Structure formats: structure tokens, C-alpha cells
Amino acid sequence: MPLPEKNNRVIVTSALPYANGDLHIGHLLEHVQTDIWVRLLRTNNITCHYVCASDAHGTPIMLRAKELGIEPEKMVEEFRSSHIKDLQSFNISHDNFYTTHSDENKYFSELIYKKAKESGFIESRQIEQLFDESAGLFLSDRYVKGTCPKCSAEDQYGDNCEICGAKYEAAELGDPVSTISGQKPVVRSSEHVFFELSKLESNVAAWMKSTPLQEAVKNKLEEWFQQGLRDWDISRDSPYFGFEIPDMPDKYFYVWLDAPIGYIASLENYLNSETKETAEDIWSESANTEIYHFIGKDIMNFHALFWPALLETSKFKKPSNVFVHGFLGLNGAKMSKSKGNFLSMRDYLDILDADYIRYYLASKLSPSIDDIDLNYEDFQQKVNSDLVGKFVNIASRSAGFLKKNDNQIGNDIDLEIYKKFISSKDKITNLFADLEYSKAIKEIMKLADSANAYVDENKPWILAKDDKNKEEVIKISSTTINLFRVINFYLKIVIPDTCSKGERFLNESINSINDIDAPLTNHKINFFSPILNRLEDENLEALIKRGSNG
């Protein structure tokens, strides 16, 4: 996929983390994938706004706040602050990280709902739901368990069976039990609001056809069309933490109605603080804007079916693409707190450098929606071999030879090998643009191997024994430092902290891909100090211990 047009405005989002718990390294996978892509755009001089927010509404938020004995608003803000701190510690470069519980989101949720209603896509219906008399609330699918109506498997949630894969309504479960109170719920009738997605099936299909979605994503979405798209229940009954639906007392927008609208609201909040532009203008159908969402495969139906349809009815621009990734496992198993196989972002940061895992995740990521595994042994080997043994080694083994030249890069550079490194620019850029991060990393490491081979072949440590070879040693070392500079730039979008240290050593800052076309000559560098340390056994053992505590 080519990079977005430079004349267009680009909006990029990561899925909104739910504001009822700490972030874990599974969240990090998506934010690292997004952040690398965003940084790629910026280094290619493309105007890009990267926005996100805390997903703040819904029954789980309400119940968790009640459990903690605080108001939902306070809990949401506390988790939002924690999420911002963790994500910033991993150098995730959001322009804005907002919240869906905001005036801006309320405005856009009501606006989009109103436009959908005026266009004839909103209908009220009486439905039957399971009601927990003990807890005093209607039960959403995930708060009901019972026997699957298709295969009779027990202990299944109220939306789909994990055994046979069947999808159904919670009221169809056999022997249903509330997971909140443990009591058997009763059936009650209630008026609900539906977004008539079925009327927009051809529109959504046309958007899918015209959008370069990943093949696996298209195949998965096609399954929803086999039985026809169903209308979408976008309301919830009181008590509920969310936005009340206009003119419908005690009825609230379902969290998945206002969550994606939170992208627009976060952009609006950012623009209000930075410019006089509005999100309504930038996100309009007529704007020269490209919109890209990064999400996990568990929520692709909301982003690639409901969301485009909702935007269609309200005359907002639909996504240019929705990039989907798989889940992150931990040492060969699914992450699970209860099973003692879980690692929070904060636990990781207490022990290791953020760039270690940014690099490792990048080395595993591809356009596939298959799951990825964080294997501890592979993690340590890849960091020590690639980053320390190959990349950092280029600078550390060459900087010393320039000390005798007052840390000055010479005027004479081996342009043949330098041009070879620069000629990889388009290939590496295109691989990152296509989400082929793993392949891009391999290409960069090939260059690192070439740089080290260049030093090995020229043997400056032998030449340096004779003063008559001084100019040749300076040329070899100056060339090698320039090769390090190119690789440092290619890796900057992946490991920004480490590469900032590399730039301090080089005594320059590079922000645009065009700035590496010419080599550094007659340039004073700084004394070399370690840019990145090896990942030692004791550090890894501490991480494993923290992860095994769940």
C-alpha cells in the first residue's frame, strides 16, 4: 500500500483502551504498531494527527466504580491518567489522548444519531431482555451464562458459544444465570433503539470493495453478509454510565455507539487547543482527509461494518483503511491473570527498557491477523544479537578510531557503500507502509551486517598501528559512522529513545527521510557512550517472575 498523499490530512487512531484496569503488553502491541506507522508518515513529511482516548462508558465501568466505592467519572479519569503515563513511557506519540466521557463526544454522538434518525435509519422496538432483580439492571450478553441453545455446552456467555461458535441472543440460553448476583434472571420487555444496518448492506459492501482491507479481514467480514447484516441495538436501559439518548429519558447510548465517535471527539479536542479548525470539517465527506484505524481482530465488526454505515448516514468520511492485528500471547500461552501468565505495561517498565520490546514486537509484526507470541528466550536473543551485537556495535567499534582526529568525521567517505545503504530507503519505507514490519527489520539488519562486514574487511585496528595509514583509518571510520547514521535513522521510528542517543553521539538530529541522502563530512561527533545495554539474564528472570505472578 502506498503512503498517504502528501497533500492530504491524515488521521490515525489506535483502539480505545477500556478505562477500568491497567494496560498490559497486549495493548502495547497495537500502540507500537500504530506509532511506528505514524512516525513513518511524519519522517516522510506527511501531516498526520494521531488520536486516541479512554473508552469510558458501559456497565463494566459502572460496576467497577461501584466495587471501588467511587464515582465512575473519578475512576475513569484515574485510569486515563495512568494509561497516558504508561503509553508515554513507551514513546507512543499521540497528539491527543482524550476520553469518551466528554462534552465533545456527547455533541458528536447526538449529532450523528440525529443525522441517522433524520435519514430514516433509526427505529424504536420493544424487545425482551434478561433482568437481574437482585442487581436491579438489565443484563448485557457478557453478564449472563448458561447452556448453549445449539450444542448444549454449559457455562457459555450470552452472545456466543466458545465450544461450537454459535451466535445467539442471551434470552435463548438454557438455565441462564447472572454473573453479577448468581441469581436466575427474569425476562422483561423494554423499548430499545435500533440502527437499521440491514438497510445499508449494499453501502457497506461497496465500501469494503473499494477499501484495500487485508484479505483475511475481508474474508472474515464476508461471514457477516452470509445471513444478511442485522439491525444494531444502540441503546441501553438505566442504570447505565454513558450519554442519555435525546428525548428518551432513562435510555442511554450503547458504549459501542459513542466509542468510535470518540475518535472524532478526540480530534476536536486536539484541534481546539492547537488550531481554529474543527473535526467536523476535517472528517467531512468532502475533505482531503485520509483516516486509518488500527484495531485488534476481536472488534473488526464494529469498525468495518457498523462504523462505516454510521458515518455514511451522517455524511462523515469513512475510513481509508482499517488495519487489523492478532493478539499477543506470553511465552506460548494466552495472557491470563487468573492463570499467572500476565504482564502489565507498568510491570515491564519497572524492569526493562521500553525500546527492547518495541523492537521485538516490530520484528514480529506483519499484515497477518494471526496471533503473536512474546517468547522470553527469543526476546533476549533478538535484542542482544540485533540491537547490541549488530546495530550499536557499528558505532562502538568505530568511534574510537576518530579520537585521534579530535572526534571529527573526515571529508573522504566511501560513497559506493553509502549509496547502497541509501538505495534501501524506498524498499524499507514501503515495507513499513505495508505493515510488513518484520520484513523491514530484516532489511535493516542486513545493512547492519554489511556495515560490520565493511569494518571486518578493512581492519582499521591493524591499519591504525602505523601512522602512515592515518588518513585511510579516518576514511574507514568516517564511512562506518555514516553507515551507522543511516541505520540509526531507519530504526528511529521503531526505537526512538535509543536512536535519540545515537543522534546525540552523532551530534545531529534528523527528522526527515531526505536528510540522510548526503553523508556527514567534516563533522564533529561526541564521545561514544553506551547507547543500549545487553538484556541480562537477571533482568529477564525478574520480568518472567513478575509475569508469572499475573
The span from the CA of 394 to the CA of 532, in Å, is 12
Contact criterion met (CB below 8 Å) for 39 and 77: no
Residues 36 and 111 in one domain: yes
Domain extent, residue 173, equals: 125-195
Residues 317 and 389 in one domain: no
Residues 306 and 409 in one domain: no
- The whole-number pLDDT of residue 158 equals 87
Q: How confident is the model at residue 260 (pLDDT cuts 50, 70, 90)?
A: very high
Q: How does the average pLDDT of the chain come out, rounded? A: 95
Task: Read off the CATH number of the domain in which 432 is found.
Answer: 1.10.730.10
Residues 57 and 16 in one domain: yes
Whether 1 is in a domain gets the answer no
- The whole-number pLDDT of residue 550 equals 54
Whether 377 is in a domain gets the answer no
Residues 166 and 218 in one domain: no
Whether 333 is in a domain gets the answer no
Contact criterion met (CB below 8 Å) for 87 and 17: no
Domain C-terminal end among 277, 299, 325: 325
pLDDT tens track for 105-115: 999 999 999 99
Whether 224 is in a domain gets the answer yes
pLDDT tens track for 22-55: 999 999 999 999 999 999 999 999 999 999 999 9
Q: How confident is the model at residue 272 (pLDDT cuts 50, 70, 90)?
A: very high
Residues 19 and 72 in one domain: yes
Residues 129 and 112 in one domain: no
pLDDT tens track for 454-475: 999 999 999 999 999 999 999 9
Residues 106 and 231 in one domain: yes
pLDDT tens track for 365-382: 999 999 999 999 999 999
Min mean pLDDT across 163-167, 307-311, 376-380 is at: 163-167
Whether pLDDT at 549 is above 80: no
Extract the C-alpha cell encoding 463: 591499519
pLDDT tens track for 379-436: 999 999 999 999 999 999 999 999 889 999 999 999 999 999 999 999 999 999 999 9
DSSP per position, 376-411: HHHHHHHIIIIIIIIIIHHHHHHHGGGGGGTTEE-S
pTM: 0.95
- The whole-number pLDDT of residue 443 equals 98
Decide: helix, strand or coil at residue 369: coil
In terms of Cα–Cα distance, which of 173, 176, 171, 188 is closest to 137?
188
Task: Read off the CATH number of the domain in which 177 is found.
Answer: 2.170.220.10
pLDDT tens track for 207-253: 999 999 999 999 999 999 998 999 999 999 999 999 999 989 999 99
Q: Which helix (H) or strand (E) holds 63?
A: helix 59-68
The percent of residues above 90 in pLDDT, for the chain, comes to 89
Whether 350 is in a domain gets the answer no
Domains of the chain: total: 3
Whether pLDDT at 16 is above 90: yes
Residues 412 and 273 in one domain: no
Q: How confident is the model at residue 167 (pLDDT cuts 50, 70, 90)?
A: confident
Residues 297 and 415 in one domain: no
The span from the CA of 475 to the CA of 113, in Å, is 66
- The whole-number pLDDT of residue 14 equals 98
Residues 172 and 260 in one domain: no
Residues 175 and 80 in one domain: no
The span from the CA of 452 to the CA of 468, in Å, is 24
Whether 90 is in a domain gets the answer yes
